[in-house]
Amino acid sequence: MRIIAGTAKGRKLFSVSKKMMVKPISDRMKQSLFDIIRPQISGSIFLDLFAGTGNVGLEALSRNAMKVVFAEREIACIKTIQKNLDNLGFADRAKVCKCDILKGVKFLYNHTDEQGFDIIYMGPPYRLADNRELSLTEPVLKDIAKNELLANGGTIICQHHQNEEFKIPKNLELYRTEKYGDTRIDFLKYSKESK
């Protein structure tokens, strides 16, 4: 894993043990994702949900996001994110939260200076250790919309398995979809007016 562009371009990132159920986003997907949201990144408040090693949020910091909040429940991942932040010199523009996202995301609003997040990236795991499929996108999207976690006009990026179906809350609008093998990335816009 490495930073693709920005102030830390080319810098390698620390990872977690391969025994953990953490599958970082590929460089190809990450490059494509950031090409799409490039105009929105500089000066943004960015939330990396199910952060894993922090690969996406760290890329956002390298590309001049003003602040990134990382939400993750695994201690090994949290330690790795902090190690990467310290190594890259980004710790002063980041907050790492240990939390179970499925128990609610409302408290994360407190880390946005009460303006909401400009960009939320969520890449929940697709499967459990015993290979049972997970469908985490819909409940988390509902919670984000219900608690108005996004700033007006903000974007949610949902990375999920291509077979995962979910309903999009009324105040979110799908405006772009990209496919990479068995992975789909959906881009949703938030508008208070469309509630």
- Total domains, the chain: 1
Place of tokens 């400009």: 118
What 3-state DSSP class applies to 108? helix
In a domain, 9, yes or no: no
In a domain, 5, yes or no: no
* Contact in structure between 83 and 76 (CB atoms under 8 Å): no
Place of tokens 């890329």: 59
pLDDT (tens digit per residue) in 120-131: 999 887 655 555
Residue 67 Cα distances to 20, 58, 137, 155, 183, angstroms: 27, 10, 24, 15, 27
Whole-number pLDDT of residue 164: 84
| pLDDT of residue 59 exceeding 90 | yes
**Can you give the residue range of the structural domain that contains 98?**
27-194
Average pLDDT in the 110-124 region? 88
CATH number at 50 reads 3.40.50.150
